Amino acid sequence: MAEKYRPANYEYSESEIAAVGEGMKKLRTYVSDGGSGSVSSTQMEEIVKLIKREHRPEQVACYKAFWDNHHNGRIPVDTFMECMKTLHRSEVLLQWLVNCADKDRNGFISKDEFIHLLEIMILFDSRIATMENVTFEEFSVEADTNRDGRVSVAECVAWLQEKQEAQK
Ligand SMILES: [Ca+2]
Ligand SMILES: [Ca+2]
């Protein structure tokens, strides 16, 4: 029987997290560094299998981009295990996805980045699918709470949270 994928709000138990940590240490690119060691982001697909998440290529690419952008392509085992403890909280996932979408890492969400954000959000959380109809123009006005003409990562996260609340 095929094993079911974990949903976006799945809360991993301590023993499951520990087992993923052990699994990561068996991967080909694992390097011990005196601490918990790290794995190359090129093995993201294997890691996503370890956490039993869906691993469509677009999703794997998004996870990989995060570690490439924020950790130079190495995934520290202890940091990854810490992430697993909070992934089920939707605000953590949102923060993480918006950071992923901010491709040039300037702290603001441009039109291209907004379109990319909607694409990746729908991949990760189908509850957000209804946002597909929101245009960038509407987003830039609604989300720009300090009215400086651009939407920061924090403003974007707050806007998404409001949208999610409104859907409940
Ligand atoms: Ca940006
Ligand atoms: Ca702003």
Q: What is the DSSP string of 15-74?
A: HHHHHHHHHHHTSTT-B--SSS-EEEGGGHHHHHHHTT----HHHHHHHHHHHHHHHTTE
Residues 76 and 100 grouped into a single domain? no
Q: Domain containing 66 — which CATH number? A: 1.10.238
Rounded Cα gap, residues 88 and 10, in angstroms: 5
Domain boundary, last residue among 84, 110, 141? 84
pLDDT above 70: percentage of residues in the chain: 90
Residues 133 and 159 grouped into a single domain? yes
Rounded Cα gap, residues 132 and 150, in angstroms: 20
Ligand in nearest proximity to the CA of 69: 1
Task: Give the residue numbers spanning the domain of 24.
Answer: 14-84
Instruction: Tell me the whole-structure pTM to 2 decimals.
Output: 0.72
Rounded Cα gap, residues 168 and 162, in angstroms: 10
65: confidence class by pLDDT, cuts 50, 70, 90? confident
Q: Domain containing 117 — which CATH number? A: 1.10.238.10
Compute the average pLDDT of residues 113-131: 72
pLDDT above 90: percentage of residues in the chain: 48
**152 alpha carbon to ligand 2 midpoint, in Å?**
5
Residue 139 lies in a domain: yes
Domain boundary, last residue among 84, 105, 129? 84
pLDDT tens digits, 2-35? 567 888 788 999 999 999 999 999 999 999 988 8
Q: Does residue 154 carry a pLDDT above 90?
A: yes
Residue 2 lies in a domain: no
Ligand in nearest proximity to the CA of 150: 2
**137 alpha carbon to ligand 2 midpoint, in Å?**
13
Q: Does residue 141 carry a pLDDT above 80?
A: yes
40, β-bridge pairs: 74
Residues 104 and 47 grouped into a single domain? no
Residue 28 lies in a domain: yes
Residues 109 and 131 grouped into a single domain? yes
Q: Count of CB atoms within 10 A of residue 59's CB? A: 17
In the chain, the number of structural domains is: 2
Residue 6 lies in a domain: no
Of how many residues is the chain composed? 168
pLDDT tens digits, 27-60? 999 999 888 999 999 999 999 999 998 888 888 8
**107 alpha carbon to ligand 2 midpoint, in Å?**
11
Residues 76 and 110 grouped into a single domain? no
Mean pLDDT, all residues of the chain: 87
Domain boundary, last residue among 43, 61, 84? 84
Angstrom CA distances, 36 to 71, 73, 116, 151, stand at 15, 16, 33, 37
H or E element, residue 79: helix 77-86
